[in-house]
Amino acid sequence: MKKFIALACAAVLTVASAVTAFAQPSVSVSGVVTAVTTATDKDGKAVNATFGEVPAEYASAVAEVKTEAKLKELLGSDYTSTMQVVDVKNVTVPDGTVFPVTITFKVTGVTASTKVAVLHYNTTTKTWEKVESKAGDGTVTATFTSLSPVAFVVDKATAASTTTTNKGTTTTTNKGTTSSTTASASTTSPKTGETNVMMYAGIVAVAAVAGMAVTRRKRA
């Protein structure tokens, strides 16, 4: 009887844990760069801007810019505790391109009212620099005087939704050049109906265990 009760309790706890897990909302911030929509040089001429993964030699710089301390230093009064680096890409344009270059990126979860910042890693001075940028509906536009690793910062408190980056795909820009190897997969809280189903399942499981216990006692 003791073994039976212990097993029954374990089953109930397992179902209860599942209900709790399903009820938890996503806490990840929105935003990954999925494509380049437009790119123009100093004279307003179209440029083929591409992006990809950051070379391994800049790994330490990327790790640094993702820290709260570094973001505070770089953003100054523009920094808020809800801001986070959501993506870092190595952005390039063809040799001979006349700077400054203005590029518009597609960024998941960003709206025109989202607070954003774009940081560029200067490979000559070995420092991160904040560049002029603005948010649009699903886009971030920034102007660069040189290019290399670029970090995209989004205020998760003003983003449209929460997402995680758990799928690898290849994205092409509007000009047909390969750009990104990372895409996003939306993660949202479960619908009310889904949560209720799990709750009811837990209640049924508890009732079933109680019934089996009573039946076993009668047989005894």
Give a three-class secondary structure readout of the chain.
Answer: CHHHHHHHHHHHHHHHHHHHHHHCCCCCCCCCEEEEEEEECCCCCECCCEEECCCHHHHHHHHHHCCHHHHHHHHHHHCCCCEEEEEEEEEECCCCCCCCEEEEEEECCCCCCCCEEEEEEECCCCEEEEECEEEECCEEEEEECCCCEEEEEEECCCCCCCEEEEECCCEECCCCCEEECCEEEECCCCCHHHHHHHHHHHHHHHHHHHHHHHHHHHHC
Kindly state whether residues 145 and 131 are assigned to the same domain: yes
Q: Are residues 76 and 51 in the same domain?
A: yes
Q: 106 and 204 in one domain?
A: no
The per-residue pLDDT for 159 is 85
Question: Do residue 134 and residue 164 come from a single domain?
Answer: yes
Q: Are residues 61 and 133 in the same domain?
A: yes
Domain enclosing residue 210, as ranges: 2-24+191-219
Same domain for 162 and 134, yes or no, is yes
Q: What is the pTM of this model?
A: 0.64
Residues 118 and 204 in one domain: no
Based on the structure, what is the number of domains in the chain?
Answer: 2
The tokens for 31 are 């935003």
Q: Say if residue 76 is in the same domain as residue 155.
A: yes
Cα Rg of the chain (Å, integer):
25
Which residues, given as ranges, of the chain have pLDDT below 50? 12, 15-16, 18-30, 162-195, 197
196 lies in the same domain as 166 = no
d(CA 62, CA 119): 11
For position 160, what pLDDT does the model report?
A: 78
